[in-house]
Amino acid sequence: MTDDRKAGLAFIAGSIGGMVTMAIHPTSAGVLTPAQFERLAVVSGIAHSLAMVSFLVMFLGAIGLTRRLAAREGERQDRLAISGLVGYGFGAVALLLATAVSGFIVPDIMRHMIRDGAANVSQWRMIIDAVFQFNQAFARIYSVAASVAVMLWSVSALRNGGLGKVIAVYGCLIAPVLIVLIGVGHLRLDVHGMAAVVLAHAIWFVGVGVEMWKAVSHVDIASQISEARPGAPRQ
């Protein structure tokens, strides 16, 4: 399997994992009994663990895409593609923090609150609200950074090739729209808002993944030609 195909498969698998995460992500359900909360905490841990693994796989795909796009300019390398990888890596760190907070820190805080019973409820709620604001900040950082990365990769593809024009144009359009909506506060990154961001990005990543799965790299072509020549040395 070629590197392009591996990267494309990583994009597709990671995007599916991200969408499954949002589909099973628990939402606020009012007052819960201890047993109900424990079930909710387990689902939350599974969902956010899946998110961590999915976006780790996505980062592997991002490396492959960057190599493909950067190589289009030969020795000079495409700085836009490389900048896209840096931006996506920056966003992935923020996403790791956001998923850790939502999936593991908040449930532990709520367990302490349930054990305390009616005592100190207001203080615990203040702590949870503060932690939620941290989570929102990390979610915004990821969403904007990933959108910037999509835009940079798309512009690079339009300049030098490497991706189809339709998916590149989509990336150039959807990324700034998401950035503006998040910047003005119209898109609040609760479960539903984050699901919208993940879906918009997933359309681009899956499209890119399919193209990379179908692509034959220049290195592969050269290798095939070399092997086809009589007496050519095998690498």
Question: 84-137: per-residue pLDDT in tens?
Answer: 999 999 999 999 998 988 888 888 887 777 777 656 667 777 887 888 888 889
In Å, what is the CA distance from 170 to each residue of 20, 175, 199?
23, 8, 13
Structure tokens at 125: 């709620």
Q: Check: pTM over 0.85? Answer yes or no.
A: no
Exposure b/e, 98-124, CB count within 10 A at least 16 = b: bbbbbbeebbebbeebeeeeeeeeeeb
pLDDT for the residue numbered 228: 46
What's the whole-number average pLDDT of the chain? Answer: 83
pLDDT tens digits, residue range 192-212? 889 999 999 999 999 999 999
Task: Give the model confidence (pLDDT) of 29-41 as tens digits.
Answer: 556 667 777 788 8
Q: Which residues contact 124 (CB under 8 A, 6 or more apart)?
A: 109, 110, 112, 113, 116
